[in-house]
Chains A and B, each alone.
Chain A
C-alpha cells in the first residue's frame, strides 16, 4: 500500500515537474540526453569493434610473424638435416673406412657450413671417434656412449635427432671455449672392409644459429617468442638466463602442452595471448606471447583520454543543443510575450511572427484570432451601444409630453364640459398607459400588458379623434403570458393613426391581433388607411428612412432594432401595404413565456 502511494506520489511529482519545465529546457535536455545515449552506444560499439578488430589485426600479424619464424627455423633445420643426409649418403655410406678416409669430404662440408656448425664427428658403435671436422681430440674422461645424443640415435636408428641446447663436451678445447650447441645425431652404417657396423654421425650446430632467428623476431614492446621442445624444455627464450636464475618465471611447461593455435591466459596476474606453432619433424614448438596491455586501451592514460574526449563531446553537444533549443524556443517566447502584452491591452501592438514554419503559422492564427476578437468586440460594443440608444429612445418615449399635454387637454375639456365619467375614463386610461409605459423600467413585459398598454392608448386616442376610427384587439389566450418588448405595438398603432386614421371619417379601422403559430408569436396591426407603395413599405425598416412618429418618437426601425437586439435577427417587423387599401405591420417574436425570460435575465 505504502509502495503504491509512494509510487503514485513520485509519479505525480514527476508530472508536476514536467508540466513546470520550460520548452527550452525540455528540448535541450531531450536533445542532449538522447544524443549522449546514442553517442555512448555508438562509442561503445565502435570501441568494442575497434578493439576486437585491433586485437584481430595484432593476432594476425603475430601469426604471420610466427609463421615466418617457423619457416626460417624449419628451413634452417632442414638444411642441417640435408647436410647430415649428404654426409651419410654421399660420404660415409659408400666408403670403406679401411680403404679410404672421409676426412677430406667431411672437412669440405664443414668448411662450407662452419658459420652454423661447431664440428662434425663420426663415431663407431663403441663410441670411438672415427673422423671429425675440424680435427679434434675427444676429452679423456668423456664417455660418448653415455651421452644423450648417442643414446637417442641408438634407440631410434631411423630418425635424425635434435638435442636440447647443451655445452659441447665431447672435444677438448684448449682455448677454454665452452660453446652451446644443439646436437643433430643419427645412426649410420659404417663399412670397414667386409664388416658393417653401426656408427653415429654427430653434427654440433651452433646455438647462435637458432638464437639469431629468434632474436630478430620482435612482437612489439610487450611481446616475445620462445622455443621449447616436446617436453617443455626451453630451447630458446629471450630471458632464458634469468629464468634459470629464478628472477623471471615462464609458463613454458603448460604452454608447451597447447596445440597449435591462440590461447588467452593469465600468468602472474597478467592477461596475455599465447600463440603456439609446431615446428616440423622436431616436435619443437614456437610460442609467441603478447601481453594484453600491448593491444588494448585498458590502461590509465587511454581511459583518461576516452573520458576527456567524451566530456569534450558532451560540452560541444551542450553548446550546440543550447543554440538549437534557443533558436526553436525564442520565437515561442516572443510570441508568448506578445500574447501576454495583448492580454493586458488589446491594443498593445501586433503579434510577433517569426521562428519555424509552425510557429509562424501559430502566430498568424493568433493574429487573426486577435483581429477577429477585436472585430467581434467592436460589434458587441456597437450592439450594446445601439441597444442602449434604442432603450434610451424607448425610455424617452415612455413619457411623451405631447401626448400627455393633448390628453390632459382633453381631460380638462371633459371636466369643463361636465363630462366627469369620460374624464375619469380618460384619466384612468392615461394612468394605466403611463404605468405600463414605465413598467418599473423593464424592457420586457407580458403580451397582456403590452395589449393593455395599446388598448389604453387607443382609448385615449379615440376620445381625442372623436371616434374617427374603430379599433379591435384580439389576443389569443395563449399569447397573453408570453414575453414581448415594451412599446412595440403602440408606436405602430400610433403610425396607423397619424398616417391613416387621422383623415378617416368614422370608418377607420385598426385591428390588432395576437396569436401563436408553432413556436412563434405574431402580433398584427392592420389599418385601412391610405396605405403606401410596397417599396415605401419595405423602406420603413431602414434606419435612414426612420419615421419618428409625432407621438412616441419611436420609429419602426427602432422597434425592429430592439427586436433584433433582444431576440435576434430571425425576428422583427414585416410591413405589408397597399395604396388606398391599408397597411398591416406584423410583429414576429419568439413564443417565450414571460417567466422564462425573467429567469434568464436573473441568471445573467
Chain B
C-alpha cells in the first residue's frame, strides 16, 4: 500500500507539472514570444526603381510579422555570380530566409543545390529548377505573355511586325512571357521578331533606327526597363509615330508614360501582393509551417483611360 501510495504521489506530481508546463507554454514557447525575424531580399537589378510596389508589400508584411528586411541590389544587372555572393554572405550573417528574384534561373538552381545551408529560399518573378526552393511566387508569366500579345494583336495592322523586346531569357519568367507572346502571335499568324539587346544604348539605337523607318509596327516589352526606354524614345518624338507600344510591368514612370499615350497598354502584375506574400511565406517556412510550392498573383490590363479606375488605381498605386 505504501508503494502504491508513493506511486500515486509521483504520478500526481508528474501530471501537475505537465499541466503547469502546458498552461505556461506560451511563456516558454520561443515562437510565441515576440521576436524579430531577419529576412534578406536579393533582387536581380542594380536599382530598385521598379521594385517600389513590391517593397510596399514587403514593408506591410514586415510590419505585420515583425520582420527586419535586408534589401540588396546588385552592382550590375542580372549577375548570377553576384547573387551567389550575396546569398552566401547573408547566410553567413545569419539571415533566417532569403527571397530572391533570379538573374539566371539555372545558375541559381545550381547555386542553391550546392548550398549546404538549409535556410529557406523563396523565389519570386521567375522560377528556379531546384528542390531547395521552398516556394515560387509570381504572376502567370506565360499567361501574361499571351495577354499582352493579344492586346498587341488588336492594334497590329496587316503587313506589320510585332517586335518583342526581351532582356534576359535566362530568367525562366522572361522565357515564359516570351513563349506566351510568340505562341499567341503564331496562332494568329502574326510575324514577330525578338529583339534582345544587352545594353540600354543598343536598345535606344535600335529604336531610333526603327523610328526613322517610319514602320507601322507594334512593340511588346517584356520587362519594365525596356518598356521605359522605349516609351521615352517614343515620347520624345515630335511627330506621332505609327508604333504601338505594349508592355509588362508597372511603375509610376510607366503609368505616367501610359497616361501620356506613349504606351497603349500595360499588363501590371500585382506586385504589392507578390512582395507581401514573399515575406509572409518566408516567415511561414521559418516557423516550420506547410506552404504551397507555387503561388500565383494576378495581373491587370491597364489602358490610359482606365488608370484612375478605382480597382486599377489601388493596384497601380498601393497604399501602405
Q: Is B a genuine binding partner of A?
A: yes
B318 contacts the other chain (CB 8 A) = yes
B317 contacts the other chain (CB 8 A) = yes
B202 contacts the other chain (CB 8 A) = no
B244 contacts the other chain (CB 8 A) = no
* Stretch of B139-147, B168-176, B203-211, B249-257 contacting A (4+ beta carbons < 8 Å): B249-257
**B residues 89-147 with Cβ under 8 Å of A?**
none
**B residues 23-49 with Cβ under 8 Å of A?**
23-26
- Nearest residue (CB) in B for A179 is B317
Contact assessment for A308 and B16 in the assembled complex, using a CB-CB cutoff below 8 Å: yes
B85 contacts the other chain (CB 8 A) = no
* Stretch of A299-307, A371-379, A403-411 contacting B (4+ beta carbons < 8 Å): A299-307
The residue that A241 contacts in the complex, of B26, B308, B318, with Cβ under 8 A, is B318
B2 contacts the other chain (CB 8 A) = no
Closest CB-CB distance, A264 to chain B, in whole Å?
26
Closest CB-CB distance, A500 to chain B, in whole Å?
85
CB-CB under 8 A for A245 and B298, given A301-B22, A308-B23 = yes
The main secondary structure of chain B at its interface with chain A is helix
CB-CB under 8 A for A242 and B60, given A166-B310, A312-B16 = yes
B240 contacts the other chain (CB 8 A) = no
Please indicate the chain B residues that have their CB under 8 angstroms from the CB of A387 in the complex. none
- For the complex, what is the distance from the CA of A308 to the CA of B22, rounded to whole Å? 9
Closest CB-CB distance, B63 to chain A, in whole Å?
9
The residue that B255 contacts in the complex, of A141, A176, A241, with Cβ under 8 A, is A176
Please indicate the chain B residues that have their CB under 8 angstroms from the CB of A239 in the complex. 60
**CB-CB contacts of A215-257 with B at 8 A, as 1s and 0s?**
0000000000000000000000001111011110000000000
Contact assessment for B310 and A247 in the assembled complex, using a CB-CB cutoff below 8 Å: no
* Stretch of B75-83, B151-159, B268-276 contacting A (4+ beta carbons < 8 Å): B268-276
The residue that A307 contacts in the complex, of B19, B57, B255, with Cβ under 8 A, is B19
CB-CB under 8 A for A166 and B273, given A207-B319, A305-B23 = no
B313 contacts the other chain (CB 8 A) = yes
CB-CB under 8 A for A245 and B319, given A304-B19, A304-B23 = no
B54 contacts the other chain (CB 8 A) = no
CB-CB under 8 A for A244 and B252, given A301-B22, A308-B23 = no
- For the complex, what is the distance from the CA of A180 to the CA of B308, rounded to whole Å? 11
B311 contacts the other chain (CB 8 A) = yes
- For the complex, what is the distance from the CA of A167 to the CA of B56, rounded to whole Å? 17
**A residues 528-573 with Cβ under 8 Å of B?**
none
Contact assessment for B272 and A241 in the assembled complex, using a CB-CB cutoff below 8 Å: yes
- For the complex, what is the distance from the CA of A234 to the CA of B25, rounded to whole Å? 39
Contact assessment for B19 and A166 in the assembled complex, using a CB-CB cutoff below 8 Å: no
Contact assessment for A177 and B26 in the assembled complex, using a CB-CB cutoff below 8 Å: no
Contact assessment for B26 and A301 in the assembled complex, using a CB-CB cutoff below 8 Å: yes
- For the complex, what is the distance from the CA of A244 to the CA of B319, rounded to whole Å? 10
- For the complex, what is the distance from the CA of A455 to the CA of B319, rounded to whole Å? 146
Interface residue tally of chain B, by bracket? 35 or more
Contact assessment for B19 and A167 in the assembled complex, using a CB-CB cutoff below 8 Å: no
Please indicate the chain A residues that have their CB under 8 angstroms from the CB of B26 in the complex. 301
Contact assessment for B16 and A244 in the assembled complex, using a CB-CB cutoff below 8 Å: no
A263 contacts the other chain (CB 8 A) = no
Count of chain A residues near B, Cβ 8 A? 30
**A residues 138-179 with Cβ under 8 Å of B?**
139, 141, 165-167, 169, 173, 176-178
Closest CB-CB distance, B303 to chain A, in whole Å?
12
B193 contacts the other chain (CB 8 A) = no
- Nearest residue (CB) in A for B25 is A301
Contact assessment for A244 and B311 in the assembled complex, using a CB-CB cutoff below 8 Å: yes
Contact assessment for B252 and A176 in the assembled complex, using a CB-CB cutoff below 8 Å: yes
Contact assessment for B319 and A166 in the assembled complex, using a CB-CB cutoff below 8 Å: no
Please indicate the chain B residues that have their CB under 8 angstroms from the CB of A244 in the complex. 311, 314-315
Contact assessment for A178 and B316 in the assembled complex, using a CB-CB cutoff below 8 Å: yes
B196 contacts the other chain (CB 8 A) = no
- Which of A139, A239, A244, A302 has the most B CB atoms < 10 Å from its CB? A244
- For the complex, what is the distance from the CA of A304 to the CA of B20, rounded to whole Å? 8
- For the complex, what is the distance from the CA of A211 to the CA of B318, rounded to whole Å? 13
Please indicate the chain B residues that have their CB under 8 angstroms from the CB of A178 in the complex. 252, 255, 316-317
**A residues 5-46 with Cβ under 8 Å of B?**
none
Closest CB-CB distance, B264 to chain A, in whole Å?
14
The residue that A167 contacts in the complex, of B253, B276, B304, B308, with Cβ under 8 A, is B308
B70 contacts the other chain (CB 8 A) = no
- For the complex, what is the distance from the CA of A604 to the CA of B259, rounded to whole Å? 133
A311 contacts the other chain (CB 8 A) = yes
A315 contacts the other chain (CB 8 A) = yes
Contact assessment for B20 and A308 in the assembled complex, using a CB-CB cutoff below 8 Å: yes
Please indicate the chain B residues that have their CB under 8 angstroms from the CB of A304 in the complex. 19, 22-23
- Nearest residue (CB) in B for A140 is B260
- For the complex, what is the distance from the CA of A165 to the CA of B259, rounded to whole Å? 20
- Nearest residue (CB) in A for B276 is A242
Contact assessment for A245 and B16 in the assembled complex, using a CB-CB cutoff below 8 Å: no
- For the complex, what is the distance from the CA of A178 to the CA of B308, rounded to whole Å? 10
B4 contacts the other chain (CB 8 A) = no
Please indicate the chain B residues that have their CB under 8 angstroms from the CB of A176 in the complex. 251-253, 255-256
- For the complex, what is the distance from the CA of A312 to the CA of B13, rounded to whole Å? 10
- Which of B19, B270, B304 has the most A CB atoms < 10 Å from its CB? B19
**CB-CB contacts of B286-308 with A at 8 A, as 1s and 0s?**
00000000000110000010011
Please indicate the chain A residues that have their CB under 8 angstroms from the CB of B256 in the complex. 173, 176
**A residues 35-75 with Cβ under 8 Å of B?**
none
Please indicate the chain B residues that have their CB under 8 angstroms from the CB of A308 in the complex. 16, 19-20, 22-23
- For the complex, what is the distance from the CA of A177 to the CA of B259, rounded to whole Å? 13
**B residues 146-193 with Cβ under 8 Å of A?**
none
17 CB < 8 A contacts A-B: A167-B308, A167-B313, A173-B256, A176-B253, A178-B255, A180-B319, A241-B276, A242-B60, A245-B270, A245-B272, A245-B297, A246-B298, A247-B273, A247-B276, A301-B23, A301-B26, A311-B16
The 6 closest A-B pairs by CB, nearest first: A305-B23, A308-B19, A176-B252, A245-B273, A304-B23, A244-B314
New A-B contacts (4) at CB < 8 Å, excluding given A166-B310, A242-B273? A241-B272, A244-B314, A246-B298, A301-B23
Partner-A contacts on B (CB < 8 A) = 12, 15-16, 19-20, 22-26, 56-57, 60, 251-253, 255-256, 259, 261, 270, 272-273, 276-277, 297-298, 304, 307-308, 310-311, 313-320
